[in-house]
Structure 1
């Protein structure tokens, strides 16, 4: 245990010291000094004996400081004068009966002050609560512990009230404790003072920690917990951390600084002993959680919450535990933070392999958004809400598989200088995960049996990705250039789909619908168009485009390319198709019918 520089107890005034060497002043100066010392001893005797619990029932049942504050101050003055008298007597005659008497009186006085110190601490538990001390002293002590607006749950409101039963502090009690502490320390009873103070205040801190549901749990127990149970423990810890740091430990630090203002080493010893166990227990929890083997990707969000909480409170932790003797507490906070950082990086790495190893098949060949795309983008948009802290975690860290991602993809010559300057380790990580997803979706598109469906499938999935990016903070992370590039890619997929799925319909229409045609030629054109339109419609009508705006874009694009040309053909050559019966045989659709056919596409289940 660390040794603190405390003044020696009264017994150090040794009776065996050489008398001749201790008497150095002339008789003319010694006599007045001895008379004064004797007077101090006699003056102190009556008051000290009055409050001797061993000989007085009144003193045993009554508190000196609560009974009469003026008499208490007089008592402290007597003790201080008694100390001066002992020094004078020691110099004159180490074997003096007066010195022996003074030593006994000092011992009685110190016993009394120990009792008073304990009584004041015990009787003022509610008034020396941590929150009251920290709030009342914030303007003159460590720093201002400002509330940050986070709402505590009802359960924690009760716990916080247990820590701070009232919103005021008894300045008188603090002053009394400081006076007693100064006297005890200066008279060599610093260790006794520390023992009493830490016994009382540590019980308060430990009780507060317990009320906040922070309990001692081994790593093995945490590792065996179901994730749902562990997540509840994490939520409790998040609430407990803020209350503990900004209320409990901040208040205890301020209280120690005020009571032991005259002896910083004693104050440090007290605060270290009071806070060490509770703070270590509190700050070790995230490290244990980070080390648990829970495979769910969702675990990352609770780890990010814990990392953020420690980061936000780091300045407070640094300031409150600034003593050398509490450096281990700060180290524990940093260790937990580093362990959380490592675990978060590992989870994202594992998430990449989860995408790559996904073996789910297409539920049906309808071309909709794959469940893997939905899950992945939901995960990434949620991660985007933690972009600030993740940018810190992935500072100068690139994905391990970056070599697979071409420089032209990440740093395209088409990108503006501004966009490349904003590329961070985290933004590259997000780009990479989306690229991995797109590669996996491309592989899954090979499962589509219809030749045109892969393009619609890819367009649907990329459009879903684009919309998720555009409607979330991912757009800020990835940048406008990334977004524009992938919007263009969606358009390319859509054009390929139109070409493959509707190419025969396009080609069935003449390049110049107003060109002169014979009756036979006109009939042939109409028959071919009827055949290709019905065939394409049968194949494409079962396909889906889940996002309504994108669906309308595709249908409108098809209508623009087909309906106007068909309308001109119809208006120019309808009369040439022959009589009514023949018209019904060769011209099945009026232009409005064609438009309605196209507008009814992709109306399947939008999965």
Structure 2
């Protein structure tokens, strides 16, 4: 065969067997090249990682043992993290490659263990050394600090902010930067350790340090574990102080302690919801449950001083106001016991408040004191009851929530004459309005019974006027006015006017009756003398009887004085001016006409301060003394 034919046969691309052989050789060569390249990259990655990891191996380097990587060089710390991440990827390649070099895998694993030990130490150091900047208060107030810094920097250029503002701005910046840097470093380490399969070691360090901070914070706030028996054995004064302390501790805990820890957990472990939940729960659940368990213990105590209800309402208010924050901060399923405990405390507190309200109602109904208040003044029951109710009115929103589903009061225990209050029959009125109106109605009913113990009917009406006026005054000057409304106030003010009018009619009616119906009609001298004599006697008698009366409310006192004076002084002046000369000459007139109209007015001005010898706020001391001397003289005749 010619050489050319042989050549074309051997090298012709159309020869199938030779073509396949050549292609196979090419693929094998490419695979070998890729393999060599991959091995080279793996080796380079391991070598690079080994260089920086071994530098910071505390077991082999005295320098690494006493120095912090993240504090010494942030740039090198970032390089360390990148090398560990690259090493982790390389280990995945070695594990997945069936032809992998087992020696390289072992080497990578050893390096990874050394790196994780170093990162665990760094994590611990950052958490420990930054306690002041990673405390819950600092973390929770970062946003407010930023706002404060912005407001400081926004000051007008022409202005001259004082040094304190400048220093505060600088301090805020420093605190925020340190806190932010520490949190960033922690997140960097946590992400790396979790991705490398060392989440357990990272979480262990975090929980130990952060739980100690939360527990220490709760302890410093005065929250300690107590039993029901311990609470019951405490004097009320001691328990009251603990309640006040709890109220402050609850606010601080919710504003700083728990919200700060939740923020820190969320940021450090942002890549893992399960780790985030596990850390926050283990760190905070015990302390939060202890915090929200205290109100329930207090609500169960048997001690019931009058002020207890206000402390219970304070605690109820504190929890209910923070309820949204409680649900947000403790939103994890594993922290549900905290929400349950807070809810249980609310339930117990509301039950105890209802019970104390019933005790208050019962105390009014059972009051059996028959002691008559001198001068028809204020009964202690009126004062104490209204003090109690005005303080309750400050908690109207909370009370409305507590008694919203409480059955309406049973009215059968009251006399029929007291079942007139429209608010107690109004099914559309808020429960709080109905309940407060009912309690005042019970009080007024009890006062009505006490008024009957006075022998002088006029004094019983003055007693009712005084006490109802005090009730209205306390309503007017407290939140009760918004609970009861203007219609309630107007109706009871009209009742005071009725009581006052009845008092005037009974106490001063005979004095007015001693004057003739027509004061200016002509009468005989004898008749005039007789009228003056009767007026003198009845006015003196009425004055001395009423001189012991007291009207504490200045407005009511003035109204009654003006009302009596307008009638009595006006009628007597007409009679006096018309008939003074009728009785005879000046010497004779002195025997029968003992009071001028001005004298009557001055005497009236001295009334209702509780004693005939007391001074008057509406007259001078000289006039009052003169009047008293003039009054005593004829009475001794």
**In which range does the TM-score fall when normalised by the shorter chain?**
0.7 to 0.9
* SS in structure 2 of the partner of residue 449 of structure 1: coil
Normalised by the size of structure 1, how large is the TM-score?
0.84
Q: 1:342 aligns with which of 340, 351, 362?
A: 351
Which residue of the partner structure matches residue 237 of structure 1? 246
Which residue of the partner structure matches residue 403 of structure 2? 394
Which residue of the partner structure matches residue 547 of structure 1? 553
* SS in structure 2 of the partner of residue 588 of structure 1: coil
Q: 1:590 aligns with which of 596, 604, 607?
A: 596
Which residue of the partner structure matches residue 448 of structure 1? 454
- The whole-number CA distance in structure 2 between the counterparts of 1:138 and 1:318 is 22
Which residue of the partner structure matches residue 58 of structure 1? 63
Matched, 1:36 2:35: no
Gap runs ≥5 in structure 1 = 1-25, 141-163, 414-419
- The whole-number CA distance in structure 1 between the counterparts of 2:451 and 2:419 is 25
* SS in structure 1 of the partner of residue 386 of structure 2: helix
1:165-184 alignment to 2 at 5 Å? 167-168=175-176, 169-184=178-193
Deviation at 1:481, TM superposition (A): 0.9
Q: 2:90 aligns with which of 85, 94, 103?
A: 85
Which residue of the partner structure matches residue 439 of structure 1? 445
- The whole-number CA distance in structure 2 between the counterparts of 1:372 and 1:563 is 37
Deviation at 1:483, TM superposition (A): 0.8
- The whole-number CA distance in structure 2 between the counterparts of 1:102 and 1:412 is 83
Deviation at 1:444, TM superposition (A): 1.3
- The whole-number CA distance in structure 1 between the counterparts of 2:41 and 2:419 is 91
**Does the CA-based 8 Å contact 1:321-1:327 persist in structure 2?**
yes
Deviation at 1:488, TM superposition (A): 0.6
Q: 1:291 aligns with which of 294, 300, 309?
A: 300
**Does the CA-based 8 Å contact 2:404-2:432 persist in structure 1?**
yes
Q: 1:555 to 1:172 in 2, by over 3 A?
A: closer
Q: 2:108 aligns with which of 98, 102, 111?
A: 102
CA deviation digits over 1:286-312, x for unaligned, max 9?
222222222112112222222222233
Which residue of the partner structure matches residue 144 of structure 1? none
**Does the CA-based 8 Å contact 2:528-2:579 persist in structure 1?**
yes
| Length, aligned pairs only | 553
Which residue of the partner structure matches residue 13 of structure 1? none
- The whole-number CA distance in structure 2 between the counterparts of 1:191 and 1:138 is 34
- The whole-number CA distance in structure 2 between the counterparts of 1:330 and 1:394 is 22
**Does the CA-based 8 Å contact 1:113-1:180 persist in structure 2?**
yes
Q: 1:409 aligns with which of 408, 418, 421?
A: 421
- The whole-number CA distance in structure 2 between the counterparts of 1:320 and 1:348 is 34
- The whole-number CA distance in structure 2 between the counterparts of 1:407 and 1:462 is 17
1:408-427 alignment to 2 at 5 Å? 408-411=420-423, 423-427=429-433
CA deviation digits over 1:96-132, x for unaligned, max 9?
2322332232222222221221122111111222222
- The whole-number CA distance in structure 2 between the counterparts of 1:601 and 1:74 is 95
- The whole-number CA distance in structure 2 between the counterparts of 1:521 and 1:324 is 98
Q: 1:297 to 1:399 in 2, by over 3 A?
A: farther
Matched, 1:485 2:497: no
**Does the CA-based 8 Å contact 1:453-1:497 persist in structure 2?**
yes
Q: 1:377 to 1:167 in 2, by over 3 A?
A: farther
Which residue of the partner structure matches residue 524 of structure 1? 530
Deviation at 1:260, TM superposition (A): 1.0
- The whole-number CA distance in structure 2 between the counterparts of 1:446 and 1:132 is 67
Deviation at 1:455, TM superposition (A): 0.7
Which residue of the partner structure matches residue 146 of structure 1? none
Deviation at 1:51, TM superposition (A): 2.6
Deviation at 1:531, TM superposition (A): 2.7
Q: 1:187 aligns with which of 182, 187, 196?
A: 196
Which residue of the partner structure matches residue 339 of structure 2? 330
- The whole-number CA distance in structure 2 between the counterparts of 1:411 and 1:382 is 21
**Does the CA-based 8 Å contact 1:318-1:330 persist in structure 2?**
yes
Q: 1:306 aligns with which of 297, 309, 315?
A: 315
* SS in structure 2 of the partner of residue 233 of structure 1: helix
- The whole-number CA distance in structure 1 between the counterparts of 2:520 and 2:36 is 138
- The whole-number CA distance in structure 2 between the counterparts of 1:219 and 1:114 is 43
- The whole-number CA distance in structure 1 between the counterparts of 2:383 and 2:175 is 50
* SS in structure 1 of the partner of residue 132 of structure 2: coil
Q: 2:608 aligns with which of 593, 602, 607?
A: 602
CA deviation digits over 1:179-204, x for unaligned, max 9?
11111111222122111101011111
Q: 1:366 to 1:69 in 2, by over 3 A?
A: same
1:536-575 alignment to 2 at 5 Å? 536-575=542-581
Deviation at 1:377, TM superposition (A): 1.3
1:344-383 alignment to 2 at 5 Å? 344-362=353-371, 364-383=373-392
**Does the CA-based 8 Å contact 1:34-1:89 persist in structure 2?**
no
Matched, 1:500 2:506: yes
Q: 1:337 to 1:555 in 2, by over 3 A?
A: same
| Deviates most, 252-261 or 442-451 | 442-451
**Does the CA-based 8 Å contact 2:295-2:345 persist in structure 1?**
yes
Deviation at 1:489, TM superposition (A): 0.4
Q: 1:118 to 1:402 in 2, by over 3 A?
A: farther
Matched, 1:247 2:267: no
* SS in structure 1 of the partner of residue 331 of structure 2: coil
**Does the CA-based 8 Å contact 1:396-1:424 persist in structure 2?**
no
* SS in structure 1 of the partner of residue 374 of structure 2: coil
- Kindly name which structure, 1 or 2, has the bigger radius of gyration based on alpha carbons: 2
CA deviation digits over 1:515-562, x for unaligned, max 9?
333344333333332332222223222221122221222122112222
**Does the CA-based 8 Å contact 1:127-1:170 persist in structure 2?**
yes
* Structure in which a larger fraction of residues adopt helix: 2
- The whole-number CA distance in structure 2 between the counterparts of 1:127 and 1:604 is 67
Q: CA RMSD in A?
A: 2.8
Deviation at 1:133, TM superposition (A): 1.7
